[in-house]
A and B are shown apart, each in its own frame.
Chain A
Amino acid sequence: MVNSTGATPDQLLPLSIPVFQVLISLSEGDLHGYGIIQDIRDRTGDEIALSTSTLYGAIKRMIRDGLIEQSDVRPAPELDDERRRYYRITPFGREVAACEARRIDRLAEMIRGREFQARTP
């Protein structure tokens, strides 16, 4: 699979932390900007907090790279706020996220059993 500029998923790796986190958040369903920040914070227990600028910077690049797109599907009207824009992960984005996950897995595999592996209390 390639995106509009002809890049394969592997060429986009490794992903930056914000980009990967946004992909994970959107893999569950469409979200708007604030929802993405919330989801990342909840999921990581506040460890990763994105500023709104960082988020929209990442979104801009992700749309350019074809990882996500603006979503037309809106949730039930009573839950929705007219102004909000929702984002959706593209099939290519899913592929890229999966590649990144595999890459991290391989990395983790490499250090398993080594001395510098993090001690868990």
Chain B
Amino acid sequence: MFSAVAGAVLPRGFQREFGTAQQDAFADRYREVRRRGLGPTTRFWLLEVGGLAATAMREYREELRRRRRRPERRRRDWDPPQRKPEMLNTLRKDLLYAFRMIVKTPVVTIIAILSVALGVAANTTIFSIAHSWLLRPLPYPDADRMVMVYENNRNDPDPRDLASPANFFDWQEQTTSFDTWIASQFTSLSLTGIDRPQEMTVAVVTPNIFADLRADPMLGRTFAADEGGPEDAPVVVLSEATWRRQFGADPDIVNATIMLNGEAHTVVGVMPETFDFILGTVNLWIPFTFENQRDGRGSRYLNVTAWRRADVPFQRAQAELVALASRLEEEHPATNENWGVNVLTVREQFPSRMDIGLVMILGVVVGMALLIACANVASLLLAKTDARQKELAVRVALGAGRGRLVQQLLTESVVLAVIAGGLGTVLSIWGVGGLREALPAQIPRFYFPQLDGTVIAFSLGLSVLAGLTFGITPATQVLSADLRGALTDSTRSRTASKRKKRLRSAFVMAEFAMALTILIAAAVLTDMVNTTFHIDPGYDSSNLMTMEVRLPYYKYERTEEFTQFVDDLERELARLPGSQGAALTSQLPRTYSLPTSVFTVDGQPADRNEEPRAGWLSVSPDYLGTLDIALRAGRNITDADRAEAAAVVLVNQRLVDQFFADVDPLGRRITIQGTSREIVGVVRNVAQTRLAGFEPVGATVYFPMAQRLVRTIRLAIRTPGDPYQVVGPVQSAIWRVDPDQPISAVQTLDEFIEMQLAGPTFMTDLLHAVGLLALVLAAIGVYGVMAYTVSQQTNEIGIRMALGAKPRQVLSRVTRQGATLAGAGLLIGAPIAALITRAIVGLPVDIPGVEAGFGDFDVGPVLGVSLILAGVGLVACVLPARRATQIDPVTALREE
């Protein structure tokens, strides 16, 4: 494909000399990058396309220069040439003339500029993601040597498990392939002693982190290499955002003391906004060596980052760690059995294959939209060039070379395209802004797309390319056109040649094919998002206020303290004015994913190779009632299910279907998290995870909160009216229980759900916009071509009608011509559309526990979209056809 494009773009001489050699080199390089993955392949394509454009322009310029030099040599005796000024003059003249022509035909200009601008804007927006995710160099030193090291439990589908301190120290000390290691633990602490207690996201990190990332503070200092031992005075480094928001950008913050979880910490520095660690954005950093947890091998909570040595290739470093992990597995079977290691390059850490897939699909789609726009503008310009044949003929007669005319016409196209590109860039501010809104906040800010120099350059470069694309066909028409004929034939010179007619028809077919593809992609993606939005979720999310409290370690250590808090809170909530029910839960519906645990059905032999897992949540007795979730069988959790009472559990319908298909589950027991529990009730399946609707509902269990305490508690309060009215009273209720308790994530359940689905929704909106654009552009294209064809046939139609043809016959004749084109386009587009749909449906979904893709290919959207397009095509044909029939035959004949 590349060689075909190169063949079309590069001058013939260049092709003859280097074509084959270049193709071979290209093929070799392509084979190589394909092996290295998606990122390098994308970069390779961009590089090749950019290089091709630049080289093509350069070669043409040289070619033109050479051609112009030849006749001059002949003229030299009588006209001493002044090469340089002449060239500049030509360009200036061309530009001026181009502007004049553009202003002279405002309708053509506006249509052309608008359609190309929209196409460019869509492409720029998608490119900005590709740029920030795949191409932009990472802001870390030696990022190519940086790796993330995870443990990996072979029974658990999520391959990124955190590491235990003991394993971390063993990796660090018993391998030779790495020269630097960073461990970090993410946690949250309560910041108190300010107006309202606040929840802070904290990274507890080995003290070398800033030095090894070569990051300098904007205020104060970072950590000393040996800071963070258990005996050291507690210190903290703030992020710029926290410094600004919580401390009003206090310039004297360094050496101030702040209270975190009741403990005084000295602020030693502030990191600038540009510092952003790959694992996520945090409020503050606390140094810790983890030395006193050296022996902890069983609990895993460390994120591990390392740099391999420059002289060790990735595979060898990875192999060394894998070997060490299996050694540790043998030495420590109690904690390490079934635990391997998983080494990811920093580029594999983010984005996921699904994200990349989605961006690639969008890229193809917006590329097609731009091509449609180009095809439209090309056929507009083609008609315009026809109309200008006389003018061009005059110029040839006055001595202009044909190359000169081509250059002039191309200049016009490029000027048009650059104006459109400027407008497109401005429009993409909206697109990129929307993207930034739609990305989840946990993604490091570094990965947020920006309209930076590279993206703008891409946008403008693409415009020029678009200008050349839609300009080349009309411009080169001049080369073959019979211009002298145009001048001498004083009657009608605008009869389109067969070739031009064929070209125009080809444009229309291509437009229909591409519009079909885009619309189908849009329809399929919409369908997917709608499935998720409109499935019966199993709960009523309206008028529900939610918020979150995280009980800090320093105050809540023992079971009694937890129980006390939960009991007090429930009692306070029960008295809440203006509430129709209040509940506590460990997870809200549509959460990213549920934590899972292995379980066994009591009395059934356990299979060690395939341990069943269930997602779990811990809920208060009012949970099902407050969210309006139906109980299918048995009883609900009650106040009597306390810690000291018999252990019970509710299970969802899915778990029953999977494990108690033929028996009554009530009264049976399962052992989960070390406790044997009696199943007392069955709950209907609900949309518990973010992508429920795409992915099947998993087996789920509900613990009574009193029997399974959790540190992060979410509140859900049902209100009769505006949910926000209840916020104040709920906060007071919480603070009556514990005045130092921070409250976060205050939002309604609907808002929470909307936020969880923001990404897919935005993508669909974008696709809709592009789809609509494609539809409009394709319609304009067909209309334009048909209208033109009809106007060419005015004379013929007049004769036919004078000879007695009925309007209906004329109408059907013209419509048939258009319908043939549209039908052919749809036929060509159908297989392409099917491919795209397959790609979308087959997107790898990397949610733990879900292996299937998005579901089955649905023929509905394809039919629907084809019908819509056919309808649009029909209207675009019928309008000009009707006009043709209304022509008075006499007038039509007189036209001649």
Judging by beta carbons under 8 Å apart, are B20 and A51 in contact? no
- Pairwise interchain contact A53-B52, C-beta atoms closer than 8 A: yes
Q: Which residue of B lies closest to A57 (CB)?
A: B55
Are A34 and B25 closer than 8 Å at their CB atoms? yes
Proximity bits, B7-33, A CB within 8 Å = 1, else 0: 000100010011011101110110000
Docked CA distance A57–B58 (Å): 9
B758 on interface, CB distance cutoff 8 Å: no
Q: Which of B43-51, B70-78, B589-597 is the interface stretch?
A: B43-51
Cβ of A94 within 8 Å of any chain B Cβ, yes or no, is no
A53 lies within 8 A of B10 (CB)? yes
Q: Give every chain A residue within 8 A of B396 (Cβ-Cβ).
A: none
Most buried by B among A51, A54, A57, A60: A51
Cβ of B24 and Cβ of A34 under 8 Å apart?
A: yes
**What 1/0 mask marks residues of chain B from 214 to 235 whose CB sits below 8 Å from any chain A CB?**
1000000000000000000000
Q: A33-B21, A60-B17 are in contact. Are A52 and B54 (CB under 8 A)?
A: no
Interface residues as binary, A49-63 with B (CB distance below 8 Å gives 1, 0 otherwise): 111111111011000
Report the minimal beta-carbon distance from B455 to chain A, rounded to whole angstroms.
20
> Is there an interface contact between B28 and A34, defined as CB atoms closer than 8 Å?
yes
Number of A-B contacts (CB under 8 A): 66
Select A53's contact among B17, B20, B22, B141, beta carbons within 8 Å: B22
Q: Any chain A CB within 8 A of the CB of B56?
A: yes
Residues of B within 8 A of A53 (CB): 6, 10, 22, 48, 51-52, 54-56
State which of B14, B26, B43 has its C-beta within 8 Å of the C-beta of A52.
Answer: B26
Rounded to whole angstroms, the CA-CA distance of A54 and B10 in the bound complex is: 12
Which chain A residues border B18 with CB–CB below 8 Å?
56, 59-60
Judge whether B329 is part of the interface by a CB distance below 8 angstroms: no
How many angstroms from the CA of A57 to the CA of B6 in the assembled complex?
A: 12
Q: B21 to A56, Cβ gap below 8 A?
A: yes
Encoded as 1 (CB less than 8 Å from any B CB) or 0, chain A from 69 to 103 comes to 00000000000010111000000000000000000
Residues of B within 8 A of A81 (CB): 24
State whether B214 touches A51 (Cβ < 8 A).
no
Q: Chain B residues near A60 (CB, 8 Å)?
A: 14, 17-18
The answer to whether B58 touches A37 (Cβ under 8 A) is: no
Contact B29 A57 (CB under 8 A): no
Chain A residues, Cβ within 8 Å of B58: 57
Name the distance in Å between B586's Cβ and chain A's nearest Cβ.
Answer: 46
B214 x A121 contact (CB < 8 A):
yes
Interface residues of A in 3-53 (CB under 8 A from B): 32-34, 37, 46, 49-53
How distant is the Cα of A54 from the Cα of B52 in the complex, in angstroms? 7
* Contact between chains at B50 and A51 (CB < 8 Å): yes
Q: Is the CB of B59 within 8 A of A52?
A: no
Interface string of B114-158 (1 = CB under 8 A from A): 000000000000000000000000000100100000000000000
The answer to whether A57 touches B21 (Cβ under 8 A) is no
Query: Which residue in chain B gives the minimum CB-CB distance to A58?
Result: B55
Residue of B20, B25, B28, B43 contacting most chain A CB atoms (<10 Å): B25
B727 CB to closest chain A CB, in angstroms? 50
Instruction: Given A52-B48, A53-B10, verify A33-B24 contact (CB < 8 Å).
Output: yes
Q: Which of A33, A46, A121 makes the CB contact (< 8 A) with B22? A: A33
Residue in A closest to B50 when the chains form the complex, CB atoms: A51
Residues of A within 8 A of B6 (CB): 53
Most chain B C-beta atoms within 10 Å of own C-beta, residue among A32, A57, A60: A57
Question: Closest A-chain residue to B43, C-beta based?
Answer: A49
List of A residues within 8 angstroms of B26 by Cβ: 52
Q: Are B54 and A54 in contact (CB under 8 A)?
A: yes
Q: In the complex where A53-B10, A121-B214 touch, is A85 in contact with B21 (Cβ < 8 A)?
A: yes
Report the separation of the CA atoms of residues A55 and B22 in the bound assembly, to the nearest whole angstrom: 9
Tell me whether A49 and B24 are in contact (CB under 8 A): no
CB distance from B708 to the nearest CB of A (A): 50
In the assembled complex, which residues on chain B have CB atoms less than 8 Å from the CB atom of A32? 21, 25
Q: How far is the CB of B641 from chain A (nearest CB, A)?
A: 60
Chain B hits for A54, CB < 8 A: 51, 54-55
Known: A54-B54, A60-B17, A85-B21. 11 other contacts (CB 8 A): A32-B21, A34-B25, A37-B29, A49-B43, A49-B47, A51-B51, A52-B25, A53-B6, A53-B55, A57-B59, A60-B18
13 examples of A-B residue contacts, CB within 8 angstroms: A34-B24, A34-B29, A49-B47, A52-B22, A52-B26, A52-B29, A53-B10, A53-B52, A53-B56, A54-B51, A56-B18, A57-B14, A85-B21
The 9 closest A-B pairs by CB, nearest first: A51-B51, A33-B25, A53-B55, A57-B55, A54-B51, A53-B51, A34-B28, A34-B25, A56-B18
